[in-house]
Amino acid sequence: MRTIRSVSAMAAWRAALGREGVTVGLVPTMGALHAGHQSLIRKARLTSDAVVVSLFVNSRQFGPGEDFLRYPRPFQADAALCRAEGVDVLFEPSARAMYPPGFRTSVSVPDVARRWEGAKRPGHFDGVATVLTKLFVIARPDVAFFGQKDFQQMVIVRRLVEDLNLGVRLVVCPTVRERDGLALSSRNRRLTPAQRRAAPVLYEALQAGRTVILRGVRFGHLITKAMRQVIATEPRMKADYLAVCGPETLEPLARVTKTAVLLGAVRLGRVRLIDNLLVKL
């Protein structure tokens, strides 16, 4: 495995492969890799000739007062995981390489980015869209791999890639969960033992939402109510939002007719967790 830290070296590596007709798969990450990322890397390994994992804790997607400085950075363990999974290139640029002095360009995807996570974290998705545009331009992957867990991000990336003609095929992989249902997240390691025990209630709430839909409930507000009731059973957990949305626009659905995505975000102490569930009738 080769570790590349410079943007120009990454672009040069890609250009050389391009001349050989090799396909490149990219797994963009902020590090702190877990089995969720591992599943993306394995999927990439199976479907692309060469696999690039980018590891960059993107300051621009953290708001003021968010956990940028506290975000875990176990770089050695991350590199070991990538090596063990047969990654070809670990692209690990410095903040200065990605955002040199004078940097100011911003990519945004209005509307979709303003809801849910965007409402709670102003500027978050502009940061995501900007860094992913850069990564896609630098590494020019044929395919990029994302987890379904960041559902709203995935909707935004899909829009971005199409609108800016980036020519990247997006593959969305299922959310990997602990045995008790908790979606894997780098933030889980910041939960206290008691919070950790409470954490699966988010997924239980989403499942309750799915259950009432499959039992015939169609009104969005009733489905949301069913989810809220489950969250309310766990006093440690505060809901940021629970919503029943169209899976493309992420607009709340007054009534479920075909496919819906159930979105949830909660707080457990200072840790914020998100999760989602796609329901097809």
The span from the first CA to the last CA of the chain, in angstroms, equals: 44
Task: Establish if 49 lies at the interface with a copy of itself (CB under 8 A).
Answer: no
Helix (H) or strand (E) holding 4: strand 2-4
| Closer of 5 and 238 to a copy of itself (Cβ) | 5
> What residues form DSSP beta bridges with 50?
24
Q: Are 271 and 146 in contact (CB under 8 A)?
A: no
Q: Which stretch binds a copy of itself (CB under 8 A): 23-31, 129-137, 207-215, 252-260?
A: 129-137
User: Could you give the 3-state DSSP secondary structure of residue 221?
Assistant: helix
The span from the CA of 183 to the CA of 245, in Å, is: 20
Tokens of 7: 């943007």
Q: Which stretch binds a copy of itself (CB under 8 A): 162-170, 184-192, 204-212, 260-268?
A: 162-170
- State the nearest-atom distance from the C-beta of 256 to a copy of itself, in Å: 22
- State the nearest-atom distance from the C-beta of 242 to a copy of itself, in Å: 26
The span from the CA of 117 to the CA of 94, in Å, is: 26
The span from the CA of 145 to the CA of 128, in Å, is: 15
Q: Which stretch binds a copy of itself (CB under 8 A): 32-40, 105-113, 186-194, 232-240?
A: 105-113
- State the nearest-atom distance from the C-beta of 134 to a copy of itself, in Å: 5
Task: Establish if 155 lies at the interface with a copy of itself (CB under 8 A).
Answer: no
| Closer of 7 and 144 to a copy of itself (Cβ) | 7
Task: Establish if 233 lies at the interface with a copy of itself (CB under 8 A).
Answer: no
Task: Establish if 40 lies at the interface with a copy of itself (CB under 8 A).
Answer: no
The span from the CA of 131 to the CA of 28, in Å, is: 10
Annotation marks residue 124 as catalytic: no
Pairing mode of beta strands 259-268, 237-245? antiparallel
Tokens of 256: 């479920």
The span from the CA of 88 to the CA of 162, in Å, is: 27
- State the nearest-atom distance from the C-beta of 52 to a copy of itself, in Å: 15
Options 6, 94, 106, 233; binder of a copy of itself; rule CB under 8 A: 106
- State the nearest-atom distance from the C-beta of 218 to a copy of itself, in Å: 26
Using CB under 8 A, list all residues that contact a copy of itself: 7, 11, 15, 18-19, 21, 100, 102-112, 129, 133-134, 137-138, 159-160, 162-167
